[in-house]
Structure 1
Amino acid sequence: MKKIILSLLLVIIVYALQAQKYGAAVGVRLGESSFGISAKQRIVSKFSLEGIADFQSNSYQLTILPKLHLPITGEGFNLYFGAGMHTGKEQELGSNYGYDLVGGVEWKIPAIPVVLGSDVKPSYNINQSNWFDFPVTVSIHYVLSKETKAKRKKVREKRKRRKERKERRQERRENRNELRDKLFNKR
């Protein structure tokens, strides 16, 4: 089992290193009666995809969750939520599959590549009598790739151009209004 987990972690790390222009992180999740590993990959600006492998003494569950991240205060704190699917196996009940929701907060610690988080991940099992689960977990992730200086510069330049366009539009509106006023006042 340890070899499988280490192999999965190595594959995730290698994949994340190939896509460094996105934020990627791997880490562990700890719940009341479970532990797990997870990998996050930023897809676009506020969206990420997280793969989770949760383990308990008599079961395991693999989950894929697309998530939307929203900044709370500053760039380090995020609120996130999403929905996805899971599959797994329990010793007594056999295989299961179903749907998941997730909602939580995370904090990227400044100056070190670590993200701390906590979330609630309710899941609905379609094919079992134990049909609903409501785990609360705490997680710690190591950031593999972060936003580069070049990307931040590009974003700042884009924001500046957008602001300049907005100012030009406002100036044109004011000029049109002045011209309209002059034309109507001459009559």
Structure 2
Amino acid sequence: MRSTALAVSFFTLWLISMALCTVAQTAVLDTNGLPLETGVEYYALPAITDVAGGLTLINRNNSCPLYVGQEPIAPVVSQGFPVTFKPYAEGETIIRESRDLTVTFQAFTNCIQSTAWRVGEEDLETGRRFLVTGGEADYFAIRSTTGGYSLVWCPTESCPTCKPRCGSAGILIENNKRLLVLDGPAFPFRFRRVN
């Protein structure tokens, strides 16, 4: 009986600490200053305007899977494809900084695959890892940075015992294509809600 009461006490303390942790973490804000919400579509845009367009799907090798990349600078800057975020924490409706979440493009492709993001292969020349779509989604996080937010791969909630090679997402230009990769300088983003 005593061990049951002790287990219930520990479980209650754990629930309270998880609730406090969730409340204490800052919400990620969109360009209107409102918290990002689960399942709502947003454009992921450069924090610095006139750098290039929003995030999109890139056909890197004329085959599937499609890569996560950035629209080029053009006479009219494209917002790219919208994305949705889904937190690892069950029932969470607000996207919070440094919490595990999946990112999925809201787009249709010629590839018969998911448009959820995952970490792909490593570029042999630069040692940076590409972000691709298709397959099982990986968990990312959004962190506040100077002038915007950075996208980070460093799963903690979804895999507390993992020791991943964490990395911030930045841009690698290859054959005039702007590809999103890990392990280099972070590229700052902002998020605009799709109307």
Normalized per residue, which structure has more strand?
1
TM-score relative to the length of structure 2: 0.27
Larger Rg: 1
- Higher RCO, Cα 8 Å, sep 6+: 2
TM-score relative to the length of structure 1: 0.28
Normalized per residue, which structure has more helix?
1
